[in-house]
Amino acid sequence: ELNRPECDALRAVMTGVRRCEVRCADGYGEIAAVLPPPERRALVLIDPPYEAQDEFIRSLAALTEGLRRLAGGVFALWYPLTGRAGVDEFLARLRELAPLPVLAVELTVAAGPSQPRLAGCGLAVVNPPWRFDEEARVIVSHLAGVLAQGPGAAGRVDWIVPPA
Protein backbone atom coordinates (compact mmCIF):
# COMPACT_ATOMS: atom_id res chain seq x y z
CA GLU A 1 0.00 0.00 0.00
CA LEU A 2 1.43 3.34 -1.06
CA ASN A 3 -0.72 5.55 1.18
CA ARG A 4 0.95 5.62 4.64
CA PRO A 5 -2.21 5.89 6.81
CA GLU A 6 -3.87 3.11 4.81
CA CYS A 7 -0.73 1.01 5.09
CA ASP A 8 -0.64 1.49 8.86
CA ALA A 9 -4.33 0.53 9.15
CA LEU A 10 -3.80 -2.54 6.98
CA ARG A 11 -0.75 -3.53 9.00
CA ALA A 12 -2.78 -3.24 12.23
CA VAL A 13 -5.53 -5.47 10.84
CA MET A 14 -3.05 -8.05 9.55
CA THR A 15 -0.95 -8.21 12.74
CA GLY A 16 -0.63 -11.82 13.78
CA VAL A 17 -1.56 -13.26 10.39
CA ARG A 18 1.14 -15.77 9.60
CA ARG A 19 3.05 -15.53 6.36
CA CYS A 20 1.51 -12.18 5.47
CA GLU A 21 3.56 -9.07 4.98
CA VAL A 22 2.30 -5.51 4.58
CA ARG A 23 4.67 -3.11 2.86
CA CYS A 24 4.33 0.65 2.55
CA ALA A 25 5.52 0.92 -1.04
CA ASP A 26 4.36 1.07 -4.64
CA GLY A 27 2.88 -2.37 -5.27
CA TYR A 28 3.80 -2.33 -8.93
CA GLY A 29 7.49 -2.27 -8.04
CA GLU A 30 7.14 -4.68 -5.13
CA ILE A 31 6.18 -7.56 -7.45
CA ALA A 32 9.76 -7.67 -8.73
CA ALA A 33 11.14 -7.22 -5.20
CA VAL A 34 9.32 -10.13 -3.53
CA LEU A 35 8.87 -12.76 -6.24
CA PRO A 36 9.65 -15.58 -6.27
CA PRO A 37 9.41 -16.43 -2.57
CA PRO A 38 11.69 -19.14 -1.16
CA GLU A 39 8.88 -21.72 -1.05
CA ARG A 40 8.01 -21.03 -4.72
CA ARG A 41 4.27 -20.68 -3.87
CA ALA A 42 2.23 -17.54 -3.36
CA LEU A 43 -1.10 -15.79 -3.60
CA VAL A 44 -0.49 -12.31 -4.98
CA LEU A 45 -3.28 -9.73 -4.69
CA ILE A 46 -2.96 -6.80 -7.08
CA ASP A 47 -5.36 -4.06 -5.95
CA PRO A 48 -4.69 -0.88 -7.98
CA PRO A 49 -6.43 2.39 -7.11
CA TYR A 50 -7.56 2.92 -10.73
CA GLU A 51 -7.09 6.66 -10.29
CA ALA A 52 -4.94 7.08 -13.40
CA GLN A 53 -5.95 6.41 -17.00
CA ASP A 54 -3.23 3.79 -17.44
CA GLU A 55 -4.09 1.61 -14.40
CA PHE A 56 -5.35 -1.32 -16.49
CA ILE A 57 -2.12 -1.25 -18.51
CA ARG A 58 0.06 -0.93 -15.40
CA SER A 59 -1.78 -3.71 -13.59
CA LEU A 60 -1.46 -6.03 -16.60
CA ALA A 61 2.26 -5.25 -16.77
CA ALA A 62 2.61 -6.06 -13.05
CA LEU A 63 0.71 -9.31 -13.55
CA THR A 64 2.91 -10.21 -16.52
CA GLU A 65 6.05 -9.52 -14.47
CA GLY A 66 4.69 -11.57 -11.58
CA LEU A 67 3.95 -14.52 -13.85
CA ARG A 68 7.40 -14.25 -15.39
CA ARG A 69 8.89 -14.60 -11.90
CA LEU A 70 6.41 -17.18 -10.53
CA ALA A 71 4.42 -18.83 -13.32
CA GLY A 72 2.68 -21.24 -10.93
CA GLY A 73 1.58 -18.59 -8.45
CA VAL A 74 -2.05 -17.63 -7.89
CA PHE A 75 -2.60 -14.01 -8.91
CA ALA A 76 -5.81 -12.12 -8.06
CA LEU A 77 -6.23 -8.78 -9.82
CA TRP A 78 -9.08 -6.50 -8.63
CA TYR A 79 -10.82 -4.24 -11.14
CA PRO A 80 -13.76 -1.80 -10.99
CA LEU A 81 -16.93 -2.15 -13.03
CA THR A 82 -17.56 1.41 -14.15
CA GLY A 83 -18.15 0.70 -17.82
CA ARG A 84 -17.75 -2.38 -19.98
CA ALA A 85 -15.40 -0.95 -22.63
CA GLY A 86 -12.28 -0.82 -20.50
CA VAL A 87 -13.12 -4.06 -18.71
CA ASP A 88 -13.79 -5.97 -21.94
CA GLU A 89 -10.44 -4.85 -23.37
CA PHE A 90 -8.74 -5.81 -20.10
CA LEU A 91 -10.32 -9.29 -20.16
CA ALA A 92 -9.36 -9.71 -23.82
CA ARG A 93 -5.74 -8.98 -22.87
CA LEU A 94 -5.99 -11.63 -20.15
CA ARG A 95 -6.86 -14.19 -22.85
CA GLU A 96 -3.32 -13.71 -24.11
CA LEU A 97 -2.10 -15.47 -20.96
CA ALA A 98 -3.17 -18.84 -22.41
CA PRO A 99 -2.45 -21.62 -21.59
CA LEU A 100 -2.64 -20.41 -17.97
CA PRO A 101 -6.21 -20.61 -16.62
CA VAL A 102 -7.88 -17.26 -15.91
CA LEU A 103 -11.20 -16.85 -14.12
CA ALA A 104 -13.24 -13.63 -13.93
CA VAL A 105 -15.47 -13.20 -10.88
CA GLU A 106 -17.72 -10.14 -11.01
CA LEU A 107 -20.25 -8.66 -8.62
CA THR A 108 -22.61 -5.96 -9.86
CA VAL A 109 -24.69 -4.26 -7.19
CA ALA A 110 -26.16 -1.44 -9.27
CA ALA A 111 -27.12 -1.06 -12.92
CA GLY A 112 -28.55 1.62 -15.16
CA PRO A 113 -27.82 5.29 -15.79
CA SER A 114 -29.24 6.48 -12.47
CA GLN A 115 -26.86 4.28 -10.45
CA PRO A 116 -23.50 5.32 -9.02
CA ARG A 117 -20.46 5.30 -11.30
CA LEU A 118 -19.04 2.22 -9.60
CA ALA A 119 -21.62 -0.46 -10.35
CA GLY A 120 -19.55 -3.31 -8.95
CA CYS A 121 -16.18 -4.94 -9.10
CA GLY A 122 -14.38 -7.90 -10.49
CA LEU A 123 -11.50 -10.16 -9.64
CA ALA A 124 -9.43 -11.81 -12.35
CA VAL A 125 -7.79 -14.91 -10.88
CA VAL A 126 -4.86 -16.49 -12.73
CA ASN A 127 -4.13 -20.11 -11.76
CA PRO A 128 -7.15 -20.32 -9.43
CA PRO A 129 -7.21 -23.18 -6.93
CA TRP A 130 -9.20 -26.29 -7.79
CA ARG A 131 -12.98 -25.74 -7.54
CA PHE A 132 -12.52 -22.03 -6.83
CA ASP A 133 -15.01 -21.27 -9.62
CA GLU A 134 -17.71 -23.31 -7.88
CA GLU A 135 -17.13 -21.60 -4.54
CA ALA A 136 -17.01 -18.17 -6.18
CA ARG A 137 -20.40 -18.71 -7.87
CA VAL A 138 -22.06 -19.40 -4.52
CA ILE A 139 -20.40 -16.41 -2.87
CA VAL A 140 -21.12 -13.77 -5.55
CA SER A 141 -24.69 -14.99 -5.96
CA HIS A 142 -25.26 -14.51 -2.24
CA LEU A 143 -23.49 -11.14 -2.16
CA ALA A 144 -25.53 -9.86 -5.13
CA GLY A 145 -28.71 -10.50 -3.17
CA VAL A 146 -27.43 -8.99 0.05
CA LEU A 147 -25.73 -5.92 -1.45
CA ALA A 148 -28.16 -5.10 -4.26
CA GLN A 149 -28.82 -1.38 -4.66
CA GLY A 150 -31.55 -1.92 -7.23
CA PRO A 151 -32.49 -4.13 -10.14
CA GLY A 152 -29.64 -5.60 -12.14
CA ALA A 153 -27.54 -6.78 -9.20
CA ALA A 154 -25.85 -10.05 -10.11
CA GLY A 155 -22.85 -12.26 -9.58
CA ARG A 156 -21.00 -13.69 -12.55
CA VAL A 157 -18.20 -16.23 -12.85
CA ASP A 158 -16.68 -16.87 -16.29
CA TRP A 159 -13.59 -18.63 -17.51
CA ILE A 160 -11.54 -16.20 -19.60
CA VAL A 161 -9.05 -18.99 -20.27
CA PRO A 162 -10.45 -22.37 -19.18
CA PRO A 163 -8.16 -24.87 -17.49
CA ALA A 164 -6.51 -27.35 -19.85
pLDDT at 86: 80
pLDDT at 142: 96
Predicted confidence (pLDDT) at residue 113 exceeds the cutoff of 60: no
pLDDT at 132: 97
pLDDT in tens, 142-163: 999 999 988 888 999 999 999 9
User: What mean pLDDT is reported for the chain?
Assistant: 90
Find how far residue 71's CA is from the centre of its chain. Answer: 17
In angstroms and rounded to an integer, the radius of gyration of the C-alpha atoms of the chain is: 16
Burial tier of 34 (Cβ tally within 10 Å: 0-12, 13-18, 19+) = middle
Compute the average pLDDT of residues 93-107.
92
